[in-house]
């Protein structure tokens, strides 16, 4: 069977699996578990595909290499753009006035907390629910692959957890032997295909917060830490600011778990300081993020590649739950923050239409 046929069969048989494509690659990999056991990560010494929630204190799920069949298949990404889909969507609310009012109030509370000195930055999000009149998992995965060639694209399923799919532009961590690399990714604007992209001070400040935090966090367990110049990168129809960060692991202090805990969640998805921002999110966001803004990817002690779970959705009972958010600083405009979440939801929603 092809990977796409294996996806359909695994869903039918209610067996765990993941299929994914790395950024700018033409190979889709699939890991198909042969039983429905729910495997939990204990110390990150395991080998397989990890799926972690925003709250790292909760269960981190693993599809282990030893209990699964690995498939690899080369694809021509350009072909996916012409697919015809029989699936349809109807929104439960069309830019709901109450949803807008609620999110703007959330942002206002975040800005007030920053000005009161609770934290420097917080990332606030919302969940948008769409009713599906038809849904084909393979078609949606293929559309994600076509629309996000430079992202980590995936579809993940476990009968005890649910069905998730997405396209993340953000690397949490890559480790090869004693070398690591990561990135600071923050700031968002719609790609208008301009020759020169102009970034506001608020967006530059947000990016600097993320960069400074990551450099400080990894410097505690790593050596020779370096960062690149900040550049503008494209993810789908959106633009972001990105700084690459790399270094070598201090093997006397380092474990993979230590480094993951130092990084996750980064200020790009949580805030700064981390604990104060996490508390505010838990107290003020009106839903459980679950695996949104968690991380996922290949887990091996000396060769791991993990991505932040952004631009994602959870599909259940003919509903698609889309997750969108943005970084809030003292200069944030609540109306513009709302519009940013609308832009992000449109970007990911188009794979369902």
Q: What is the pLDDT of residue 77?
A: 55
pLDDT digits (tens, 9 = 90+) for 25-57: 989 999 999 999 999 999 999 999 999 999 999
Assess if residue 246 is contained within a domain: yes
For residues 245 and 88, give the distance between their C-alpha atoms in angstroms, rounded to a whole number: 41
Q: What is the pLDDT of residue 84?
A: 37
For residues 247 and 180, give the distance between their C-alpha atoms in angstroms, rounded to a whole number: 6
Assess if residue 207 is contained within a domain: yes
Six token digits for residue 274: 């981390």
Assess if residue 83 is contained within a domain: no
Q: What is the pLDDT of residue 154?
A: 98
Q: What is the pLDDT of residue 91?
A: 40
What pTM was estimated for this model as a whole?
0.88
Six token digits for residue 56: 């790292």
Q: Which residues of the chain have pLDDT under 50?
A: 79-94
Q: What is the pLDDT of residue 81?
A: 43
For residues 288 and 285, give the distance between their C-alpha atoms in angstroms, rounded to a whole number: 8
Domain count, the chain: 1
Q: What is the pLDDT of residue 78?
A: 53
Assess if residue 248 is contained within a domain: yes
Assess if residue 81 is contained within a domain: no
- Check: CB of residue 14 under 8 Å from CB of residue 37: no
Q: Which domain holds residue 192?
A: 3-75+88-352
- Check: CB of residue 167 under 8 Å from CB of residue 150: no
Q: What is the pLDDT of residue 12?
A: 96
Assess if residue 80 is contained within a domain: no
From the CB of residue 339, how many other CB atoms can be counted at a distance below 10 Å? 14
Which of 254, 258, 273 shows the shortest CA–CA distance to 212?
Answer: 273
Assess if residue 277 is contained within a domain: yes
Query: What CATH code is carried by the domain that includes residue 31?
Result: 3.60.120.10
- Give, for 82, the enclosing helix (H) or strand (E): none
For residues 299 and 247, give the distance between their C-alpha atoms in angstroms, rounded to a whole number: 19
Q: HSE of 339 in the Cβ direction (CA atoms, 13 Å)?
A: 8
Assess if residue 63 is contained within a domain: yes
């Amino acid at each position: 069977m092809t990977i796409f046929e294996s996806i359909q069969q695994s869903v039918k048989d209610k067996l765990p699996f993941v299929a994914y494509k790395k950024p700018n690659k033409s190979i889709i990999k699939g890991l198909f578990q042969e039983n429905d056991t729910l495997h939990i990560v204990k110390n990150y010494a395991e080998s397989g595909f990890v799926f972690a929630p925003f709250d790292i204190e909760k269960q981190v799920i693993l599809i282990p290499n030893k209990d699964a069949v690995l498939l690899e298949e080369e694809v021509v990404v350009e072909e996916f753009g012409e697919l015809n889909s029989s699936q349809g969507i109807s929104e439960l609310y069309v830019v709901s006035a109450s949803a807008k009012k609620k999110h703007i109030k959330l942002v206002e509370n975040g800005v007030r907390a920053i000005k009161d000195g609770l934290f420097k930055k917080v990332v606030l999000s919302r969940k948008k629910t769409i009713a599906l009149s038809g849904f084909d998992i393979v078609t949606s995965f293929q559309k994600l692959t076509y629309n996000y060639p430079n992202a980590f694209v995936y579809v993940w399923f476990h009968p005890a957890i649910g069905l998730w799919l997405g396209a993340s532009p953000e690397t949490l961590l890559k480790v090869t032997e004693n070398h690591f690399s990561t990135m600071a990714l923050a700031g968002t604007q719609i790609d208008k295909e301009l020759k020169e992209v102009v970034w506001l001070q608020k967006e530059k400040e947000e990016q600097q917060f993320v960069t400074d935090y990551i450099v400080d966090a990894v410097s505690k367990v790593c050596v020779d830490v370096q960062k690149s110049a900040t550049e503008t990168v494209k993810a789908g129809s959106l633009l972001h600011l990105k700084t690459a960060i790399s270094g070598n692991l201090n093997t006397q202090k380092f474990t993979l778990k230590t480094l993951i805990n130092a990084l996750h969640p980064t200020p790009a998805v949580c805030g700064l300081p981390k604990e104060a921002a996490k508390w505010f999110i838990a107290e003020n966001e009106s839903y459980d993020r679950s695996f949104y803004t968690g991380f996922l990817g290949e887990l091996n002690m000396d060769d791991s590649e993990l991505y932040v779970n952004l631009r994602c959705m959870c599909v259940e009972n003919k509903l698609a739950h889309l997750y969108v958010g943005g970084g809030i600083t003292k200069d944030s405009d609540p109306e513009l923050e709302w519009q940013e979440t609308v832009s992000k939801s449109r970007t990911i929603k188009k794979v369902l239409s």
